[in-house]
Each structure stands twice: as structure tokens, then as C-alpha cells.
Amino acid sequence: MKQWYEELFQNYAKKYDDESFTNGTIGEVDFIEKEIGYDKSFRILDIGCGTGRHSIELAKRGYTVVGIDLSESMLKRAKEKATNENVRIDFIQAELNGLFPLFHSVKDFINKNSSEGASKENTFDLMTFRDTSTYEVVNDFGNKKTLKCNERYYVPSEITWLLKSLGFRKIDILGCPLGKWDRSIQLTTEDFEMLVVAEK
């Protein structure tokens, strides 16, 4: 039986590319480049690459990139876009949990503020940090899906502990405004996402 996130991203690639949060790609890749010192010798692994928006922009700038995602339809779209942009990227279909312990129970998610979907009957359990909800979304073919979602949320202290247990020594957790990633932006409780920068 497929998990809710597999159902969500099945036949959702074109809709995904129209989501508001995909508009920050250039600024986000600018930040990544700055963080690695514009060193083109770096090989970049884009985990949960979706339709390849970061992978493709990095490849266009001369980096060697491998993109990994679980969704066949998202990867198909990523390959089409890479071909259209005339860049070579290795895209691999794989389950993230089997690759990296940190991603155990951490799944791709869609911005709940999206105009394309609506979350209803939301319940958050403070003891387990699990959020359950019913989520309605329309796929690329105009078909409406109703999904029973179950997500595990993580707080900065947990993420720090998990990364330290994997051998990362320098960990910064920052605010994450769309397309404006910057080390000077502090994380607040109003942020929908957080930016984690870690080095071994």
C-alpha cells in the first residue's frame, strides 16, 4: 500500500512547478554556491530533488549534480527539464529512508498554504510531534485526491542531535524565507520552514 506522500506526488509534477515556493530557486542556489565557495569541484547530491529545480540550476552553473527522489513522475519531469536546458544530471529513483538515517520518517511535503490544496481536520499531538490531517489536492490531470496525511515534525534541538550523531560538527539552523536564504536571518516560531547548514 502506498504512503500518502507517494500518492501526493504521483502525477503532480507540473502542478508542483507552479507552486509559489518554487519561485525562490535562483536565490536559494545563490546561497548554496556562496556556502561552498563557488568551488566547481564539489559534487552535489540533491536529496528529494523533485522536478530538479535546484539540480538543474546548479548544473547550469557548472556543478556536477546527482538528484534523488522517490516519485517516478517528478523524476520524469526533472529529466525533461534537464534535457530542455541542455544539462547532464544523474537522476535516481530511491527511497530516502534507506540512504540516510537522518531521513528516517522525514518525507517530502507540500506547503500547506498552497493555493492548489487545502488541509482540513488538522490535529497536532504535542507528545509525539505528529501532525495528522486530511488534505485535498488536484493532480496534473485535474483529478481531485483526498489524502490522510501523517507527518513528524522536528524541532531544532532534535535536528542538531541527529546531525551530531551522524558526525556533523558545525550546525547552523536559520530562518528560511522564500528565495532569500541568508546566514543573518534568525529562525522564529513564525517560519514555516527552517534552513539547516551542517559541516563534517
Residue of higher predicted confidence among 136 and 116? 136
- Residue 55, Cβ neighbours under 10 Å: how many? 28
Residue with cell 520518517: 105
Asked if residues 131 and 123 have their Cβ atoms less than 8 Å apart, the reply is: yes
The neighbouring-strand residues paired with 44 are 65
Spatial distance between the Cα atoms of 135 and 117, rounded to a whole number of angstroms: 7
Q: Which fold has domain 4-153?
A: Rossmann fold (3.40.50)
**Tens of pLDDT along 3-45?**
877 887 888 889 889 988 899 999 999 999 999 999 999 999 9
Delimit the CATH 3.40.50.150 region(s) of the chain. 4-153
Distance CA 170, CA 158 (A): 15
Q: What is the pLDDT of residue 59?
A: 98
Confidence at residue 80, expressed as pLDDT on a 0 to 100 scale: 97
